[in-house]
Amino acid sequence: MIRKGRFAVWRNKEFELVSYQRQYYLQSSNPLDLENGFVGISGYKQVFIKSVSVRELEDAYEIVPYAMIAGHRFAVEGYNENTRKVALVTNNPFVKGKIDVHAYGKFEYIIEIPLDEIQLEEDRVPILGFEGLYT
């Protein structure tokens, strides 16, 4: 599984964090979380949410996945479950000619690599006032 997006820690457990109209929600796919105040979303099986305030959270951050290829950093653009390939992008012009990349938009390059052939890393960027937690 490739983690990408916003996450929060509540009661020592990590959840995806979503927001709508300035309200924050924890998102889960675990039915056991229904016992902790989560509710189902109509029309979606296995998606449960819980409204929370920022004060209730222990931590909040954005996960930015990336991979290093031949010393160059590539951001994870997406993942194709059928082919099990990860799409990686960079705006570094020095990769062209060194790595088999293809043009992708203006001044960007993309490459698709099987997930089992690369090592994904994550940057964890604090959000919602938790920036001072790591200093």
15-73 pLDDT, tens digit each? 999 999 889 999 999 999 999 999 999 888 899 999 999 999 999 999 999 999 999 99
Question: How far, in whole angstroms, is CA 41 from its chain's centroid?
Answer: 21
Q: Amino acid identity, residue 97?
A: G
Q: Which residues pair with 123 in a beta bridge?
A: 64
The pair of structure tokens assigned to 112 is: 């698709």
The model's pTM is: 0.84
Q: In which region does residue 70 sit, left (phi positive, over 0), alpha (psi from -120 to 50) or beta (all else)?
A: left
- Helix, coil or strand: residue 37: coil
pLDDT tens profile 83-130:
999 999 999 999 998 999 999 988 999 999 999 999 999 999 999 989
Each domain of the chain, given as residue ranges in start order, spans 5-61, 64-122
The gap from C-alpha 117 to its chain's centroid, in whole angstroms, comes to: 20
**Long-range contacts formed by 88-94: CB under 8 A, 24+ apart:** 88/112, 88/113, 88/118
